[in-house]
C-alpha cells in the first residue's frame, strides 16, 4: 500500500498522467492503475525503471513507510519548462496574427485554380484570338505564383513559431495567473469563435449552389464562372474556420484542454500525422492528374471529394486509436 502511494505521489509531482507514465515505463495504463491501487506490485525490473525515471533510490520505493524522497545523484528527468504570464501573452498575440496569415495562405491555395478556369473558358469564346496554349501557360503561371505565395507564408509562420514549439511538443507548467488570464481571453473570444464557425459552416454548405446553377447552362464561360464561385465560397469558408480555430487552439494548448489535454496528446499526434500525410497525398493526386491529362477544368473535383473522404479517414483514425487503447487495457 505504501509503494502504491509513493508511485502515485511521484507521478503527480512530475505532472504525468497514468497513460504518460505507462508509456515511459513501457507497460499498459491498466498496469499503472493496478500499481497505484495496490492490486499488484511492480516486478524488480519495473522498480529499477521507476527509480531511474523518478530519480529516487530503490530503497525509498521499497521501504514500507512514508518518508521524504531519497533522490539519486543523477536523476533521469528533464526539467519541465514553465510558461510565464508574459510568454503566454506573447504566444496568444502571435497566434492571433498567425491565424490571419495561415487563413490567407489556405485561401490562396484553394482559389489558385480560379484564374486558370476563367482563362481556359475565355479562350473558348467565339472570336478569341489568343491560343489555348498561351492561355493555359498564363493560368498555370498565376496558379504557381499564388501557391508559392501561400507556401512562403506557411514557411514564414513555421519559423516564427519556433520559440513556442515546446508548447506543442513538450510537457510544460504555467506560472501563477496564466490560466486565469487565458480563461478570461477565452471567455471574451467565445462569441466570435462561435459566429465564425457558423459563418464558415454556412458558406461551405452553400458553396455547391453556383455549381448547380452552372449545370443548367451550356455556355463554357458561365460554367467556369459558377465553378469559380463554388471554389471561392469554399475558400472563404475554410478561411473563417482557420481564423477561429487557430486562436481557439492556442488557448486550449495553454490550458491543456480538449485535444491538447495531456491524456490526449498521443491521440493528437497520431491524427496530425495522418492528416498531414492525407493532404499531401491529395495534393500529389491533384497535380499528377492535372498535368497528366491537362484537364484543369475537371481535376478541381479532387478537393471536394478529398474533403468528404477526410471526414471518413478521421473517423477511422479515431476508431483505430480507441481499439488500440482497449488492447492496452486502458
Which residues make beta-bridge pairs with 71? Answer: 56
Question: Which domains does the chain carry?
Answer: 2-62 (1.10.260.40), 81-260 (no CATH), 262-330 (no CATH)
Checking if the pLDDT of 9 tops 80, the result is yes
C-alpha cell read off for 157: 509562420
Checking if the pLDDT of 51 tops 90, the result is no
- Predicted confidence at residue 128, as pLDDT, reads 64
Give the whole-angstrom CA distance, residue 135 versus residue 149.
21
- Predicted confidence at residue 133, as pLDDT, reads 74
Q: Determine what percent of the chain is predicted with pLDDT higher than 90.
A: 21
Give the whole-angstrom CA distance, residue 75 versus residue 61.
14
At residue 56, the 3 state secondary structure works out as strand
CB distance 27 to 41 below 8 Å = no
Give the whole-angstrom CA distance, residue 115 versus residue 136.
10
Give per-residue pLDDT as tens, 65-93: 655 555 554 444 455 678 889 999 999 99
pLDDT tier at 29, thresholds 50, 70, 90: confident
Amino acid at each position: 500500500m505504501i509503494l502504491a502511494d509513493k508511485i502515485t505521489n511521484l507521478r503527480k509531482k512530475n505532472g504525468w498522467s497514468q497513460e504518460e507514465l505507462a508509456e515511459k515505463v513501457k507497460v499498459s495504463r491498466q498496469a499503472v492503475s493496478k500499481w497505484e491501487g495496490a492490486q499488484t506490485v511492480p516486478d524488480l525490473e519495473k522498480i529499477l525503471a521507476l527509480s531511474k525515471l523518478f530519480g529516487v533510490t530503490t530503497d525509498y520505493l521499497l521501504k514500507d513507510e512514508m518518508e521524504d524522497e531519497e533522490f539519486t545523484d543523477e536523476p533521469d528527468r528533464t526539467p519541465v519548462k514553465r510558461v510565464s504570464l508574459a510568454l503566454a501573452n506573447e504566444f496568444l498575440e502571435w497566434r492571433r496574427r498567425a491565424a490571419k496569415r495561415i487563413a490567407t495562405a489556405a485561401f490562396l491555395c484553394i482559389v489558385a485554380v480560379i484564374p486558370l478556369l476563367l482563362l481556359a473558358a475565355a479562350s473558348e469564346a467565339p472570336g478569341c484570338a489568343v491560343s489555348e496554349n498561351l492561355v493555359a501557360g498564363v493560368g498555370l503561371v498565376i496558379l504557381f505564383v499564388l501557391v508559392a505565395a501561400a507556401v512562403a507564408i506557411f514557411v514564414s509562420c513555421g519559423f516564427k513559431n519556433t520559440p513556442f514549439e515546446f508548447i506543442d511538443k513538450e510537457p510544460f507548467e504555467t506560472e501563477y495567473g496564466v490560466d486565469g488570464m487565458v480563461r478570461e481571453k477565452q471567455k471574451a473570444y467565445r462569441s466570435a469563435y462561435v459566429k465564425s464557425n457558423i459563418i464558415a459552416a454556412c458558406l461551405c454548405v452553400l458553396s455547391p449552389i453556383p455549381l448547380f446553377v452552372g449545370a443548367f447552362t451550356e455556355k463554357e464561360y458561365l460554367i467556369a464562372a459558377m465553378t469559380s464561385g463554388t471554389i471561392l465560397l469554399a475558400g472563404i469558408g475554410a478561411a473563417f474556420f482557420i481564423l477561429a480555430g487557430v486562436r481557439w487552439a492556442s488557448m486550449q494548448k495553454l490550458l491543456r484542454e480538449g485535444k491538447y489535454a495531456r491524456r490526449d496528446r498521443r491521440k493528437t499526434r497520431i491524427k496530425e500525422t495522418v492528416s498531414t500525410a492525407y493532404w499531401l497525398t491529395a495534393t500529389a493526386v491533384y497535380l499528377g492528374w492535372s498535368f497528366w491529362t491537362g484537364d484543369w477544368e475537371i481535376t478541381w473535383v479532387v478537393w471536394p471529394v478529398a474533403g468528404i473522404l477526410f471526414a471518413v479517414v478521421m473517423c477511422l483514425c479515431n476508431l483505430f486509436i480507441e481499439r488500440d487503447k482497449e488492447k492496452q487495457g486502458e
